[in-house]
Amino acid sequence: MQDDKPCFQQQQQQQQPHSTLVNMTPHHLHIQFQDPDTGQQVTKTLPTTGQSIRACSKPQTSIGTVSGGIPVYTPPAFQPGVLQGFPYTADKDQVHPDLVVSMVVGEQIPGWYRGNVYMPDTGPDSAVRDKQGKIVAVKRLCLVHDGQQTLVE
C-alpha cells in the first residue's frame, strides 16, 4: 500500500503539461474543475480506451456464511506488480504515456514505468455525486507514480 500522503490538488513542483492522459479504466472519467485561465467551471471527460488494466489477486478462500447463507470470503490479496492488460514493457525505446488508472492498479505500477500515473480522487472532498449517491465526476486527480523520478537501469 502507498504511504499515507494526502492527494494534493496542487503539487509543490508543477508537473510538466502533457497533451493527453490515457484513461485505462473501464469507464469514461468526468473531471469537474475551475479553469485557471477563465475562472469558469468546466467538465473534462477522459474517454476510456476500451482497454483496461486490472490488478491480479490470489484466489480468495471461503470462510463460511452469515445471515442466512450469504457467502463470506477472505479479502483479495493483490499480487505486487502483477497487472492484467498492462501493455508496456521496460524497453527504454518504448513510449510510456501518462495513465489514469484505479487506485488498486496505481499501487501496482512497476517502478520502471516512465510515464506519470494518476488515479481519480474519489474522497469526500473531490467526489461529485448524483441524488442517489453515485459518483458522476471527480474534482481532481491524484499522482500515484511519478515517472519523471523513475530510474531505469
Where does the chain show beta strands of DSSP type E?
Answer: 22-23, 29-34, 41-46, 54-58, 62-66, 70-73, 77-84, 99-100, 117-120, 127-129, 135-138, 141-145
Does residue 139 sit within a domain? yes
Domain that holds residue 106: 22-56+72-149
- Which residues lie closer than 8 Å to 32 by C-beta, 6 or more apart? 41, 42, 43, 128, 137, 138, 139
| pLDDT at 16 > cutoff 60 | no
Does residue 98 sit within a domain? yes
What number is the average pLDDT over the span 45-58?
Answer: 91
Does residue 104 sit within a domain? yes
How high is the pLDDT of residue 149? 60
Give the pLDDT band of residue 112 (cuts 50, 70, 90).
confident
Does residue 88 sit within a domain? yes
Does residue 62 sit within a domain? no
115-127 tens-digit pLDDT:
899 999 999 999 9
How high is the pLDDT of residue 130? 96
How high is the pLDDT of residue 79? 82
Does residue 12 sit within a domain? no
What number is the average pLDDT over the span 96-112?
Answer: 90
Name the domain count of the chain. 1
Give the pLDDT band of residue 15 (cuts 50, 70, 90).
very low
